Amino acid sequence: MSEEALVLTVESPASCLRCRNCGAQFPLIAVHACAECFGPLEVGYDQEKLNAVTRAQIEAGPQNIWRYAPLLPVGQDPETRATLNPGMTKLVRADRLGAELGFTAPLWVKDDSGNPTHAFKDRVVSLALTAAKGLGFTSVACASTGNLANSVAAHAARIGWPATVFIPADLEPSKIIASAVYAPRLVAVDGSYDDVNRLTSELGETDEFESTAFVNQNVRPYYAEGSKTLGYEVAEQLGWKIPAQVVIPIASGSLLTKIDKAFAELAKIGLVPNTPWKVFGAQSLGCSPVAEAFHAGHDVVQPVRPTGIAKSLNIGNPADGPYVLDAVRRTGGSIAVADDDDIREGISLLARTTGIFAETAGGVTVSCLAKLVKDGLIDTSQETVIYNTGEGLKTADVLDVHPTHRIKPTLKSATEAGLLS
Amino acid sequence: MSEEALVLTVESPASCLRCRNCGAQFPLIAVHACAECFGPLEVGYDQEKLNAVTRAQIEAGPQNIWRYAPLLPVGQDPETRATLNPGMTKLVRADRLGAELGFTAPLWVKDDSGNPTHAFKDRVVSLALTAAKGLGFTSVACASTGNLANSVAAHAARIGWPATVFIPADLEPSKIIASAVYAPRLVAVDGSYDDVNRLTSELGETDEFESTAFVNQNVRPYYAEGSKTLGYEVAEQLGWKIPAQVVIPIASGSLLTKIDKAFAELAKIGLVPNTPWKVFGAQSLGCSPVAEAFHAGHDVVQPVRPTGIAKSLNIGNPADGPYVLDAVRRTGGSIAVADDDDIREGISLLARTTGIFAETAGGVTVSCLAKLVKDGLIDTSQETVIYNTGEGLKTADVLDVHPTHRIKPTLKSATEAGLLS
């Protein structure tokens, strides 16, 4: 199987791959870098087809990402999908959190821990595998900071494909188990995510992996489009409008840029009023190259060696860094940073005010929300949505929380412990 | 506040509490044992109101348990609800699992790990807290084997109520953390669940806990009705029909009896065809008092001291044991038992064939399904639904799964590990 032969032939609104750097166009193939300039490719659409999409059409769809199939490059026919059917996760009104932070306008948490493998990655993997199937691949692989590994392994188990999943060896135990349980080839690599990613780029060029879709490499343009659904859903769940402010964690930066793209698409099609929105980013202090570039006024991002507990965000050389800078600057947002103690405090604040248990990435986002409010960069009189991208159970080992009392099963012991006066 | 004063006054199809033992009727009060005979009370309904409910009415409701509010005792008015809005979790077609077990008819997994705190307990807690609010309580407590603790603590955080959560001190670390993170009074008790339950029964009688709803004690009749939604949803998701066979894990036994009750209600109302169904139970070898009574032909259940890894099922003195025996015998089902190795194997089998990562209780259920098929008690030519009641991340510590390869981030190391030939 040669990559040149692979072209998506399904009927969809996607019309081409387009270089985000030089604008060169290509057919719908299994390549993610421009043959002209090595810039990143993204999916281009037939705007007339997009313009024909209606709210009613979407609302009549299933309660998952595939309701937006008319706005996606693959998966229009249910039979073609390779998917756990993620999406339509809860948009939770966070009144008690809003009150603590001084909000007068509604504050919402888009809680993507409700997805099948409890992270937003199910969205992108469903797009990647559906594209992979359409392109003729027969196995799947990825480099991952953990959540992607869980999702790729679970998707492969559902559809019966062989999977090879590459992770940094020092990942959280829960994320390792939640990949291994699906019985993929699970390869622990002594190195950072960026090291793992470099290795899988090389492996993708070998004969042995010729029939393998690397979800965030050769099918990345399709994969990345899955994140748009996190913008579509929020807009629909708010009653078809764009929130005035959003706070989004940054790893590769793809999620942030695709939510921004989704809002722009909806407004262009006319599915929502074209109201302004501001995009705010959240990074951890242990890996804040995009925040640093933003505050230094740079257009490019200087790679760093990540540290710290927010391992799912620990991408030191973020592929979409420059596009994040574009989106944040264009919309008038900002990027905040949270250290490890802030992250733990953010997890606790979210949990005790909303009942949502977020992983470290969610702690980063909540803590950055609080900072952005404190610094006057987020307007508490404007409707705001923050994205929780993953589940607290996956990173529970970083918390230092315990029972408040320990007793024997007697009223006497309960009294001595102060539970009865 | 005296309990005698507490009567639910909301408009609902519920008409009374009725003793399941002697039939005595009571108003909708905060009591769970019959004043005449100490038998368990359950909610009675106005059958004429139930008969008026239509499929269209339910289908027009929200994508959570409250779509069935016309069949529930509380929560008809959204403003009265105290809830994380659980429910409408995925019913997953398990073709690869079915093929391994020799099914020719569809096999489905109702995957309740998709609930907000990733177990079916969110359903019952939402009912309990909504009833508690209607009854005038101002705080909440529970005795729990873990999942209930997580759900009560999360619900209390969402609505801002004080919570006191009692757990056996030896629970799985993840279940302790996933309660503690919400900052309730979390009381670790040196003893079994049955010891904890006895203690909370005594505490419920004290002045200090007079204003406290114990979700599985004084508001248990309302609480238990939440489990009916697991029957309603499966019937609706199958296109409004009752599956021929269901396999359900047994802890207190309440879940199994309520799913059976839900099917009977739907048929009686005429929302589904009145086709026969068989109810199968699943217990772990470390705590199998209901299975033992079933196979010995007894009508009562002899309490045991639980052991083994399926801690969420470790109730040695199951309150609904006799009613489980009734339901299983009446429908022509059976009860199987799985030991700790079987449970781990069940978790792995489900994961690698469906992409669903279940907790130990789910491992019990899958393993028992396989045994029931092997013993010819489940008919593989009949449509079958198994219930996964909780999330694998909560009991990940029992698994012995690991990366299959460990390498350096180089092609040389990948080759040496056999990843490239």
Nearest to B180 by CA among A175, A360, A352: A352
Q: Using the predicted structure, report yes or no on whether residue B189 has a pLDDT greater than 60.
A: yes
CA nearest to A122 within chain B = B355
pLDDT category, B5, cuts 50, 70, 90? low
Of B397, B347, B395, nearest in space to B118 by CA: B395
Spatial separation of the C-alpha atoms in residues B359 and B380, rounded to whole Å = 25
Task: Find the closest chain A residue to B92 by CA distance.
Answer: A84
Inter-chain touch A154–B90, beta carbons under 8 Å:
no
Identify residue B201 by its one-letter amino acid code: S
Rounded to 5°, the CA angle A198-A200-A205 comes to 105
From the list A178, A183, A403, the residue facing B187 with the nearest CB is A403
Smallest Cα distance from B126 to chain A, Å: 13
**Average pLDDT, integer, range A83-102:** 98
- Evaluate if residue B3 carries a pLDDT over 60: no
Rounded CA separation A393/A347 (Å): 11
Residue to mutate among B144, B182, B233, B347, with most A CBs inside 10 A, is B182
- Least CB-CB distance to A176: which of B88, B167, B403? B403
Q: How far apart are CA B179 and CA B84, in angstroms?
A: 15
**What class does CATH assign to A91-118+224-398?**
alpha beta
User: Using the beta-carbon criterion (under 8 Å), do A187 and B96 form an inter-chain contact?
Assistant: no
According to the model, what pLDDT value does residue A7 have?
Answer: 84
How much is the mean pLDDT over chain B? 96
Band of the pLDDT at B11, cuts 50, 70, 90? confident
Tokens of B31: 């009591």
Asked whether the beta carbons of residue B190 and residue A420 sit closer than 8 angstroms, the reply is no
Which percentage of chain A shows pLDDT scores above 70?
Answer: 99
Chain A partners of B167 at a C-beta cutoff of 8 Å?
A: 403
Query: What pLDDT sits at residue B6?
Result: 77
Residue A6: which pLDDT band, with cuts at 50, 70 and 90? confident
- Of A85, A185, A355, Cβ closest to residue B182: A355
In eight-state DSSP terms, residue A187 is: E
Size of interface A-B (CB pairs under 8 A): 234
Name A393's bridge partners: none
| Model pLDDT for residues A318-359, shown as the tens digit of each residue | 999 999 999 999 999 999 999 999 999 999 999 999 999 999
Q: Hey, are the CB atoms on B410 and A208 less than 8 Å from each other?
A: no
Asked if the Cβ–Cβ distance from A411 to B353 is below 8 Å, we say no
Residue A68 is predicted with a pLDDT of 98
Cβ neighbours, 10 Å, residue B340: 18
A174 Cα to chain B: minimum distance (Å): 7
Residues of A in Cβ contact (< 8 Å) with B204: none
Residues B254-281 have pLDDT tens digits of 999 999 999 999 999 999 999 999 999 9
Which band of pLDDT confidence, cut at 50, 70 and 90, is reported for residue A140? very high
Which amino acid belongs to residue B142?
C
List the one residue out of A61, A333, A85 whose CA is nearest residue A226.
Answer: A85
Q: Which residues from B are below 8 Å from A206, CB to CB?
A: 411, 420
Task: Return the pLDDT at A11.
Answer: 84
Task: Determine how many CB atoms are found less than 10 A away from the CB of residue B347.
Answer: 29
What is the C-alpha separation between B218 and B128, in angstroms, rounded? 9
Q: Six-digit token pair at B337? A: 């038992």
Q: How far is CA A269 from CA A54, A238, A291, B182, in A?
A: 9, 17, 32, 42
Tell me the C-alpha distance between B331 and B264, whole Å.
11
Domain boundaries, chain A: 91-118+224-398
Q: Residue A393: its chain B contacts at CB < 8 A?
A: 118, 174, 178, 391, 393-394
pLDDT digits over A375-411, tens only? 999 999 999 999 999 999 999 999 999 999 999 999 9
Q: Shortest CA distance to B323 belongs to which of B108, B20, B38?
A: B20
* Same fold across B3-82+121-223 and B91-118+227-398: yes
CATH hierarchy code of domain B3-82+121-223: 3.40.50.1100
What is the C-alpha radius of gyration for chain A, rounded to an integer number of angstroms?
21
pLDDT one-digit tens code per residue, B222-264:
999 999 999 999 999 999 999 999 999 999 999 999 999 999 9
Q: Is the pLDDT of residue A78 over 80?
A: yes
Residue A421: pLDDT band with limits 50, 70, 90: confident
Amino acid at B34: C
Q: pLDDT at residue A3 above 90?
A: no
pLDDT at A1 (0 to 100) = 43
The average pLDDT across B145-171 equals 97
Contact, A174 vs A393, CB < 8 A?
Answer: yes
* pLDDT recorded at residue A325: 98
Per residue in A78-110, is it b (16+ CB within 10 Å) or e — as a string?
eebbbbbbbbbbbbbebbbbbeebebeeebbbb
Residues of A in contact with B419 (CB under 8 A): 164, 185, 187, 203, 208
For residue B307, pLDDT beyond 50: yes
Pairing of strands A278-284, B163-168: unpaired
Contact criterion met (CB below 8 Å) for A42 and A221? yes
pLDDT tens-digit series, residues A181-201: 999 999 999 999 999 999 999
What distance lies between CA A84 and its chain's CA centroid? Answer: 16
In our burial notation (b when 16+ CB lie closer than 10 A, e otherwise), range B230-264 reads bbbbbbbbbeebbbbbbbbbbbbbbbbbbbbbbbb
Residue B27 has pLDDT above 50, yes or no: yes
pLDDT tens-place string over residues A218-266: 999 999 999 999 999 999 999 999 999 999 999 999 999 999 999 999 9
Domain B91-118+227-398: assigned CATH number: 3.40.50.1100
* Contact residues for A246 (Cβ-Cβ < 8 A; gap 6+): A234, A259, A277, A278, A279, A280, A384, A385, A386, A387
Question: What is the model's pLDDT at position A5?
Answer: 54
Task: Name the nearest CA neighbour of B398 among B352, B349, B363.
Answer: B363
Angstrom distance (rounded) from CA B379 to CA B405: 40
Has residue A4 got a pLDDT over 90?
no
Helix (H) or strand (E) holding A188: strand A185-189
CA distance B40 to B18: 8
Write out chain B in H/E/C secondary structure: CCHHHCECCCCCCEEEEEECCCCCEECCECCCECCCCCCEEEEEECHHHHHCCCHHHHHCCCCCHHHHHHHCCCCCCHHHCCCCCCCCCCEEECHHHHHHHCCCCCEEEEEHHHCCCCECHHHHHHHHHHHHHHHCCCEEEEECCCHHHHHHHHHHHHHCCCEEEEEECCCCHHHHHHHHCCCCEEEEECCCHHHHHHHHHHHCCCHHHCCEEECCCCCHHHHHHCCHHHHHHHHHHCCCCCCCEEEEECCCCHHHHHHHHHHHHHHHHCCCCCCCCEEEEEEECCECHHHHHHHHCCCCCCCCCCCCCCHHHCCCCCCCHHHHHHHHHHHCCCEEEECHHHHHHHHHHHHHHHCCCECHHHHHHHHHHHHHHHCCCCCCCCCEEEEECEEHHHHHHHCCCCCCEEECCCHHHHHHCCCCC
Judged against a pLDDT cut of 70, whether residue B147 lies above it is answered with yes
Would residue A258 be called left, alpha or beta, if left means φ above 0 and alpha means ψ between -120 and 50 degrees?
A: alpha
Q: What is the pLDDT of residues A261-283, one digit of tens each?
A: 999 999 999 999 999 999 999 99
CB contact under 8 A, A393 and B174: yes
Candidates A189, A203, A214, A391, partner chain B, best to mutate (most B CBs within 10 A): A189
Q: How confident is the model at residue B2 (pLDDT cuts 50, 70, 90)?
A: very low
Task: Tally the residues of chain A.
Answer: 421
Which of B85, B184, B186 is closest, CB to CB, to A90?
Answer: B85
